[in-house]
Structure 1
Amino acid sequence: MKNLIQNYLRTFSGLSREVWWLALITLINRMGAMVIPFLSLYLSDNLSFSLKEIGWVMTSYGLGSLLGAWAGGKLCDKLGYYKVILGSLFFTGISFFIVQNFSEFWSICFGFFILIAIADTARPAFFVALSAYSKPENKTRSLTLIRLAINLGFSMGPAVGGLIIASIGYAGLFWVDGITCVIAGFIMIRTLHPKKAKILDKEIVIDSPVPPHRDSSYILFLIALILFGFIFVQYFSTIPLYYKQIHQLPEETIGLILALNGALIFIFEMPLITYLESTSLSKISTVIYGMILTGCSFIILTLTPWAGILILGMVIATLGEMIAFPFGNAFALERSKKGKQGAYMGLYSMSFSVAHILGHNSGMQLIENYGYTNSWIFMTIIAIVGTVLLVIVKRKVAKE
C-alpha cells in the first residue's frame, strides 16, 4: 500500500509551484460555484419559475459562457492572462452579490448572462497561464492537475451548498460564491507575481501570429470537440432522467452513480495520463480513443435492462473523459501559435459552450420525440462522426 501511494504521489512530481497555486485558486473558485448546481431548484422553488422559463435562463447562461470564452481569448492576447484572470475573479464575485437581488424573469436572464460571461473570460486565460508556467513535457499533467482541482471543487461545492441552503437559505449561496471568488483573487495576487506574469506574457508574442480561423486542422478538431461535448453533457441532463424514469432509481442512488465520475477521475486520472504520456500514442490518437469509449457508453445502455449496466456505462464514459479532455487541452495548447494563444484557447473554450447550448436542449427533445433507446443510438452515431473527423485531423497534422 505504501508503494502504491508513493507511486501515485510521484505522478505529481516535477510540476511548477505556479501550477500548484493555479490549481488551488481553481479549487477555491470551483468550490464556490455552488449556485450553479442548485440553479434550477433556486429558480423553481425560490422564484416559482416555470420549466419553460428555467430553460430560457439556462440558455442565457450558455450564451453568456459563449460570449465570455470569446471575449476572454481576445482580452488575453491584448492584456495578458494575469489581468484577465484577476479581473474575472473580482468582478464575478461582485456579480454574485448583485444578481441575488434580481427576481424578475428577464432580469434573471440578463443577470446570469452577464455573470457567466464575466466568469468565463478567465477560462482561456487559465489555459495560457498553464502554458507559460509549465515545461513542455509537463503540460498535459499540469492540465490534469487543474482538472482534478475542478472535479474536487465541484464534488465538495454541492455538498457544502446543500448545508448552506438548509441553514441560511439560497441567499447564502450567492454570498459564499462571491466571497470565494474574491478570496481566490487575493490568493493570486499574493502567490503569482504580476511582474513575472508580464515577463512570461512577452515571451509568447511573435511578429506574425497566425489566427486560429485559418488553421483548418484546428477548426476540424474543434468541430469534433463540439460533437464530443454534445454527447458528454447528456450525463448531466438526460442520463439522470433515464436513471429515474426508466430504471426507477431513487435520488440518492442517482447521486452516488454521478459521484462515481468524480471519484474515478480524482483517483485514476493522473496515473493514467502519466502512463499514456510514456507510450507512443499521439495526443489526437488518445482523444480518438476517448471519443470511441464515450460513444460505447451509450450503446451498451440499449443492450440490457439490467441496472448494473448503468455503472458500467458511467465507468466507460469516465474513462473516455479522462483520456480525451487532458490530451485535447494539450493538443489545443500545442497547436496554438505564439502570440495568438488567447484566441486559440478562446475558441477551444467556446466549443464547450456551444456543446452546452445545443446538447442539453437537443437531448431533451430527442427523448421527448423518439424515446431513450433511439436517443442513445443517435448519440453513438454522433460519436462515430466525431471520430471520423478526428482521424482526418490526425492525417492532416501528420502531413504537415
Structure 2
Amino acid sequence: MSRLFKIYADSFKGLSLESWMLSIVMLINRTGSMVLPFLGVYMIDHLKFSLEQSGLVLACFGVGSVIGSWLGGYLTDKIGEYYVQAGALFISVPLFCLYPFFNTPLALGLMVFAQSIVSEIFRPANSVAIAKYARPQNLTRAFSLNRMAVNLGFSIGPALGGLMAAYSYDLLFYGNAFFTLAAGFMYLYFFNRRQKLFRLKKERLSLQGPEIVPEPVKEKSPYTDGPFLIFCLLCAFFSMCFFQLMNTLPLFYKNDLNLSQKNIGLLMGTNGIVVVIFEMLLVHIAEKKFSPAQTLLYGTLMCALSFFLLAFNPVLAVLFLSISLLSLGEILVLPFMATITAQRAGITNKGAYMGANGMAFSLAFIVSPILGTRIAETFGFSNLWIGTTIILVACSIAFKFYVPILLKRKNQDHTF
C-alpha cells in the first residue's frame, strides 16, 4: 500500500508552477460545465424539440468547434496563447447569459454555433501553453494534470447542473457564465506577470546577438503532413464514439431508461471523479510500462467495452460500471493523443498542430450527435451502442499498428 502511495505521489512531482496554475484556471472554468451535458435534455424536456432537432442543434456545436479550432491555432501562432485564452474566457461570459432568450431550433443552433467558436478558440491556446511551460520529460503528465482539473470540474459541474436543472434550466447558463468569468480573472491575475517576464526574457536574448537566437526554420504545415492527418482521422473516429458521452448518452439515460436529472448528473459526474482519482497514477504507470501504441490500444478497448455494456438493458449498477470503464479508457487515450500531437509539431507551429488535431475532435462532434440520434431514433439505442463498440475495436487495432509508424517517421519529416 505504501509503495502504491509513493507511485501516486511521484506522479505529481516535477511539474512546473505554471502547469499547476493552468490546471487551477481550468478547474474553475470546468466547474461551470453545466450547459453542454444538459443541453440535449434541456431541448427535449424544456423546449420540446424532437430528438432529430436536438441532434441538429448539438451538431452546430461541432461546426463551430471546427472553425474555433482552426482560428484558435492560427491566432495562437500569430498573437500568442496568453491573449487568445484571456479573450476566449471573457467573450464566453455574455454568450452563456444570452442562452435563455433563444428557444427555437434555428435560433438556439446559431447561439450554440457562436458560443462553440469562442469556446474552442481557447483549446489550442491552452494546449500550447501547457507545452510551453512544461518540462519536456513531464509533457504527458502536464497534459494529464490539466485534464485532471478538467474532469474534477466536470465531476462537480454536472452534479451542480442536475440540482439547478431540477429548479430552473436558466440557472445552468448563468452558473456557467459565473465560473467562466472567475476563471478569466484568475488567469489574468497569475499569467499577466508571467507573460511579461517571458516576453522580457526573449527580448534580452535577442539583444545578446544573432548567434544566440537561431534563424527561424520554415516548418511544415499540419495540413500538408500526411502521416499526421491520418493520425487525426483515427482521433476523429475515436472521438465520434467517445462524444456519445456528451450528447447521445444523456438522452439514452433520460428517454430510454427514464432516469431523473439527479441520477443523470451523478452518472455524468462519475466520469470526472474516476479521472480525477486515477489519471495521474495511470498515466505515470503507462509511461513507464507501455508504449504509446499499447496505451492507446488498451484505452480504446476499455471504451469499447463500456459502450457494449449499454446494449443489454443495463441496470443502474451496470451504468456506473460502464461510465467508469469509459473514464479509465479516456485516461489512457486522450493525454497521449495530445502528447503525440505536441511532439509532432515544430517550435513555431504548435498552435497550428494543436488546432488541426482539435478540428478532428470538432468534426467528430458534428457527426456524433447527428448520426447518434438518427441511429437511436431509427434502429434503437442498443444498435447504436453495438455499432459504437465495433468502430472503437477497429480504432484500437489501427492505433496499435499506426502509431509506431508515425513516431518512427517524425524525426525524418520534421526538424525539432
Pairwise same-fold verdict (TM > 0.5): yes
Distance 1:363 1:111 in 2: 22
- Select which of 329, 344, 356 maps to 2:353: 344
In structure 2, the partner of 1:135 is 135
- 2: distance between equivalents of 1:184 and 1:25? 5
Seen in structure 2, the aligned counterparts of structure 1 residues 256 and 186 have a Cα distance that, compared at 3 Å, is: closer
What's the counterpart of residue 17 of structure 2? Answer: 17
1:318 is aligned, of 327, 337, 361, to 327
Equivalent-residue separation in structure 2 for 1:396 and 1:3 (angstroms): 35
Q: Deviations over 1:213-247 (max 9, x none)?
A: 22222111111111111121223444455566777
Q: CA deviation at 1:316?
A: 3.1
Partner of 1:273: 283
What are structure 1's unaligned runs of at least 5 residues?
A: none
SS in 2 for 1:36: helix
The aligned counterpart of 1:185 is: 184
The aligned amino acid for 1:88 is A
| Counterpart amino acid of residue 35 in structure 1 | V
Query: CA contact under 8 A between 2:151 and 2:271: conserved in structure 1?
Result: no
Corresponding residue for residue 172 of structure 2: 173
**Which residue matches 1:158?**
158
CA contact (8 A) 2:274 2:327 kept: yes
Q: How far apart are the structure 1 equivalents of 2:14 and 2:149?
A: 17
In structure 2, stretches of 5+ residues that fail to align are 204-212
Answering whether residue 27 of structure 2 is matched by residue 27 of structure 1, we say yes
Give 1:195's aligned residue. 196
3-state SS, counterpart of residue 243 of structure 2: helix
One-letter code aligned to 1:29: N
Q: Distance in 1 between matches of 2:247 and 2:15?
A: 35
> RMSD over aligned Cα, in angstroms?
3.1
> SS at 2:36's partner residue?
coil
| CA displacement at 1:20 relative to structure 2 | 0.9
Structure-2 change in CA distance of 1:313 and 1:212 (3 Å):
same
Instruction: For 1:94-133, list aligned pairs within 5 A.
Output: 94-133=94-133
Deviation at 1:336? Answer: 1.2
Q: CA deviation at 1:398?
A: 2.4
Q: Give the direction of change, closer, same or farther, for the CA distance of 1:116–1:219 in structure 2 (3 Å limit).
A: same
In structure 1, give the amino acid aligned to 2:129. Answer: A
Aligned to 1:84: 84
Matched to 2:20, the amino acid is: W
- Aligned identity (percent) is 35
Alpha carbons of structure 1 residues 206 and 181: separation in structure 2 relative to 1, 3 Å: farther
User: Match of 2:140, SS?
Assistant: helix
**Count of residue pairs the alignment pairs up:** 397
- Render the CA deviation track for 1:30-76: whole Å, top value 9, x for unaligned: 11232323333444555454544433322222211221111101111
Deviations 1:325-377 (A, max 9, x none): 11111111111122111110001111111111111221222233334444333
TM-score normalised to the size of structure 2? 0.84
Is the Cα contact below 8 Å between 2:60 and 2:110 reproduced in 1? Answer: yes
* Partner SS state of residue 346, structure 2: coil
Of 91-100 and 71-80, deviating more is 91-100
- The equivalent of 1:263 in structure 2 is 273
Aligned with 2:219 (options 192, 201, 209): 209
User: Quick one: distance in 1 between partners of 2:107 and 2:258?
Assistant: 37
